[in-house]
């Protein structure tokens, strides 16, 4: 398969590209400043030159608080760029996998969100990602939306690394306990995303670590597996106000018959730390 990966310098994008190469695909990558995905003509020219069989669109505006402050910019990146990539891919018969997020949901659930649940984002980031999903689907190109949650991995700022750094500096850290989600390691997510492209599995997919935990429980597990002598003091979201609202419930589940199921979230943490220690 001839594959184009956007956002290839990012935490997920570089892992997707590496995974695709391991599976013997012909991989092409792009990211800023090489290509501005909000420039429709540039995108059409680039995709037309490459003639890929599939595009995995990882590029996104992911600064949740930044999106709250500048929603028009987040909209250009998360919606307009996604539409450009999908339309250009469609002209060349390429299948598109566009990455999305748990933030498209309101966060007020009490069971895992599945693919058919109605989105209702509470903040600018979620709104722009949902509009991006809709733009991708509206183009009419064969495509998939891959939603994930609580992502961590090498090559980008993430919660697990932050906890390990704080654990080296402090005997105790305060961590939010009233936000619940599905931690997901890029090392398990990337193969699933590539498989969707290989099999051209259209529609919406939920890809996240199985099970659920709070941020404080994730911190506890991280310290336990790392052997760090740092305790975790659970606190409420209200004690750590942020510019953008965070979903209280970000647990993703799958209802598709062909769902690609990822391992329990604890395995994501353990395997990431093993890789981290070996590097």
Cβ within 8 Å of residue 238, ≥6 positions away: none
**Residue 121 contacts residue 127 (beta carbons within 8 Å):** yes
Q: Is residue 204 part of a domain?
A: yes
- CA 211, 256, 188, 55 torsion-angle sign: negative
Sign of the torsion angle spanned by Cα atoms 135, 140, 143, 145: positive
Tally of structural domains, the chain: 1
CATH code assigned at 38: 3.40.50.720
Tell whether omega for the bond before 33 is within 30 degrees of 0, i.e. cis. Answer: yes
Cα–Cα distance between 127 and 82 in angstroms, integer? 14
The pLDDT value given to residue 152: 98
**Domain assignment of residue 232, yes or no:** no
**For the chain, how many residues are written?**
279
Give pLDDT, residue 36: 97
Domain that holds residue 69: 2-157+182-210+250-263
Contacts of 5 (CB under 8 A, 6+ apart): 13, 16, 17, 20, 27, 28, 29, 30, 55, 56, 58
**What single DSSP character describes residue 73?**
H
For residue 204, report the phi and psi dihedrals to the nearest 5 degrees. -95, 135
Note the Cα 259 to chain centre separation in Å: 17
Residue 236 belongs to some domain of the structure: no
pLDDT value for 279: 82
Angstrom CA distances, 68 to 245, 250, 260, stand at 9, 19, 32
CA neighbours within 13 Å on the CB side: how many for 155?
Answer: 15
Please classify residue 246 by burial: count the beta carbons closer than 10 Å to its beta carbon, then call 0-12 exposed, 13-18 middle and 19+ buried: buried
Tell me the DSSP string of 164-219.
HHHHHH-SEEEEE-S-EE--EEHHHHHHHHHHHHHHT--EEEE---BS-EEHHHHH
In a domain, 177, yes or no: no
pLDDT score at 81: 98
For residue 231, being part of any structural domain is answered with no
> What pTM was computed for the model?
0.96
Task: Provide the CB-side half-sphere exposure for 197 (13 A, CA).
Answer: 33
* 64, containing H or E segment: helix 64-69
Burial of 170 (0-12, 13-18, 19+ CB in 10 A): exposed
pLDDT along the chain (279 residues), means of 10: 98 98 98 96 97 98 96 98 98 96 96 98 97 97 97 96 96 97 98 98 98 98 96 95 93 98 98 94
Distance CA 239, CA 78 (A): 30
Residue 257 lies in a domain: yes
Active site residues per annotation:
125
Decide if 23 is inside a domain: yes
User: Burial level of 46, CB count in 10 A (0-12/13-18/19+)?
Assistant: buried
Residue 172 falls within a domain, yes or no? no
């Amino acid at each position: 398969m001839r594959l184009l990966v956007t956002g290839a310098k990012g935490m997920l994008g570089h892992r997707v590209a590496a995974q695709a190469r391991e599976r013997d695909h012909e991989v092409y990558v792009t990211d800023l400043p090489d290509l501005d995905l909000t420039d429709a003509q540039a995108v059409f020219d680039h995709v037309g030159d490459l003639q890929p069989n599939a595009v995995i669109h990882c590029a996104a505006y992911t600064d949740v608080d930044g999106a709250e402050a500048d929603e028009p910019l987040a909209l250009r990146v998360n919606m307009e760029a996604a539409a450009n990539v999908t339309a250009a891919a469609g002209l060349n018969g390429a299948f598109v996998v566009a990455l999305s997020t748990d933030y498209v949901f309101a966060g007020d659930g009490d069971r895992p969100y599945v693919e058919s649940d109605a989105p209702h984002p509470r903040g600018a980031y979620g709104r722009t990602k949902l509009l991006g999903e809709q733009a991708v689907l509206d183009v009419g190109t064969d495509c998939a939306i891959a939603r994930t949650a609580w992502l961590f991995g090498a090559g980008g700022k993430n919660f697990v690394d932050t906890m390990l750094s704080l654990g080296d500096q402090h005997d105790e850290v305060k961590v939010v306990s009233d936000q619940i989600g599905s931690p997901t390691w890029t090392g398990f997510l990337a193969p699933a995303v590539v498989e969707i492209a290989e099999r051209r599995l259209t529609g919406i997919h939920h890809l996240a670590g199985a099970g659920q935990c709070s941020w404080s429980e994730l911190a506890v597990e991280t310290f336990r597996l790392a052997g760090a002598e740092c305790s975790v003091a659970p606190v409420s979201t209200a004690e750590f106000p942020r510019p953008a609202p965070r979903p209280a419930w970000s647990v993703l589940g799958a209802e598709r018959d062909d769902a690609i199921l990822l391992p329990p979230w604890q395995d994501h943490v353990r395997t990431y730390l093993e890789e981290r220690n070996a590097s």
